[in-house]
Chain A
């Protein structure tokens, strides 16, 4: 039963819901002056919601049986809210001229943020499914929102078809788990599975269930071989939406992978560690080697974000819930990596979008001599690419350090070695862009960057450096949030 005094635990969701209605209302009834400020209403709602999420961190309660209010959930909520703030800033100058329906766009973006918050708090299979589906449906619309853009339409249809299949498969997996245990609550499933007195031969059943769940979550976080939609969608979607999909939406896949596997399926840990091990190696290797061959920077970023997902999974493979808890428990590494990655990758997509806005192209050749045409963009992109490559003093390095460190602590030496070799391969294509921007001469008019986009980029740049140079406070938060999950 839900009691009213626990509703405050959901205040981040409520604030965003009110903000979404406000945005829609202002769009319909508001004065012209107010309508112009729609993105800023959106951001105000998101900032308030961030304050609420941050303030509620440290709680460890459940709101009915279906939603948790723990640091783990609030941590992912904060990542989602921050990414949507950045995306909204990038949209301020992107949307006008492309669509008249800006109110709907911002409202849907807020709904997508609510979907993220619901999904990461879910502690019940029904809620997990609803959260995923909610996020997917809003994402399909956001990808295909600009109806005159043929490539965006293609991307939306592709995303929808893959998503529909993946969620059907995932639902099948959930039904198997429910059939076995007679409950949809994650903790209760774990209890039933460890108690053992289930129908005979059920061990066989757990593996397909596990596999099917992985299809659903792996689709969201673009793990190979469930990644085929990713390059086309990131490439075809409006660039700010790509930034959202490649960071916040991907984070939800990981959050659920961790939440469901760690809380509900510790009984088959050996199976899912092996499965994720294989997926991690595949994802890193395929992502990196395909990225090497790309000539479009946007597509290269798309494959690079597939490869990054491979590194992030390592953290879950090396998950370790043993006492005493350390920062290298794997899950905390995933959390820190995702935070650093959210800023870095969102920033990278926003840079590519800003350049595309001016030159109409995402080809590597058009980045030649960028430093002369826009020192600001070239400088920001340099730091972000270094962070993606994992160069020290950036957030990306600390993320890799935490995750690879966890792999070494759990004696996954071969996996760590493969990951390090992959990181070196990745340097190849990140530096190709850096070389083009700084060392290859190129001509062209100066590129002006809109003010809000500039703010978004300054935030991503500052956070990427902050996470790399002074990570201790963030590490502490990531560790405690991870422990909220591990220490169950």
Chain B
């Protein structure tokens, strides 16, 4: 019962801050709301007893990605104080389509499918160890390819963001 209440509060917090990310006219404030939204997601992981995921969420998304975004905004000329319009001509239709899609998905995914809710079992004590072993065992190829991807992205980012062309 209490978990239920906490879940509702946390999800509402996550959703409202996520909405503010896209609706706030100031880009810098949007970035700060994004941090808040990430915190909400981390709390959801805690509620699901996925403590490792929660820590990763805080470290990677809040610790690294949000800081990166904030830096990018601060370093872009005239982005800090400026107000940008989060609206365009299509936003009413997009909102309607999104709402419709959400209703359809919620109906089909939640109401029609009997998701198994019985717990699979207690989380083993060495869960993180198993995860690490899988990363260099069963999933070693995705793990390695991801590093090549990051290298390519790094080269691409430098090539695009370099000081000047010719």
Q: Which residues of A contact B (CB under 8 A)?
A: 1-2, 17, 24, 63-67, 99-101, 104-105, 107-108, 111, 114-115, 118, 124, 126-127, 130-131, 133-134, 137-138, 140-141, 144-148, 176, 179, 199-202, 204-205, 208
B90 within 8 Å of A (CB atoms):
no
Q: Which residues of B contact A (CB under 8 A)?
A: 105, 108-109, 112-116, 137-142, 145-146, 148-149, 151-153, 155-160, 162, 165-166
What residue in chain A is nearest B136 (Cβ atoms)?
A2
Q: Can you sample 19 A-B contacts with CB below 8 Å?
A: A1-B138, A17-B148, A24-B155, A66-B138, A66-B141, A66-B142, A67-B141, A104-B155, A133-B149, A137-B153, A137-B156, A138-B156, A141-B159, A141-B160, A147-B165, A179-B115, A201-B114, A204-B112, A205-B112
The residue among A101, A115, A131, A133 with the most chain B CB atoms within 10 A of its own CB is A101
What residue in chain B is nearest A20 (Cβ atoms)?
B152
Q: Report whether over half of chain A's contact residues are helix, strand or loop; otherwise say mixed.
A: helix
Contact A134 B160 (CB under 8 A): no
Which of A66, A100, A104 contacts B166 (CB under 8 A)?
A100
- Give chain A nearest CB distance to B163 CB in angstroms: 10
Contact B152 A134 (CB under 8 A): yes
Given A66-B139, A100-B166, A147-B165: A199 in contact with B152 (beta carbons within 8 A): no
Which of A127, A176, A200 contacts B142 (CB under 8 A)?
A127
Contact B113 A64 (CB under 8 A): no
Given A99-B166, A148-B166: A107 in contact with B155 (beta carbons within 8 A): yes
A134 and B142 CA atoms in complex are apart in Å by 11
Q: Cβ of B149: which chain A residues have Cβ within 8 Å of it?
A: 115, 130, 133-134, 137
A101 and B158 CA atoms in complex are apart in Å by 10
Contact B114 A130 (CB under 8 A): no
The residue among A65, A134, A148, A202 with the most chain B CB atoms within 10 A of its own CB is A134
Known: A124-B142, A130-B142, A145-B160. 7 other contacts (CB 8 A): A1-B137, A66-B139, A134-B149, A137-B152, A137-B153, A141-B160, A201-B114
A138 and B156 CA atoms in complex are apart in Å by 7
What residue in chain B is nearest A185 (Cβ atoms)?
B138
Contact A145 B139 (CB under 8 A): no
What residue in chain A is nearest B111 (Cβ atoms)?
A201
Q: Cβ of B151: which chain A residues have Cβ within 8 Å of it?
A: 111
Q: Cβ of A108: which chain B residues have Cβ within 8 Å of it?
A: 152, 155-156, 159
A376 and B35 CA atoms in complex are apart in Å by 59
Q: Cβ of A67: which chain B residues have Cβ within 8 Å of it?
A: 141
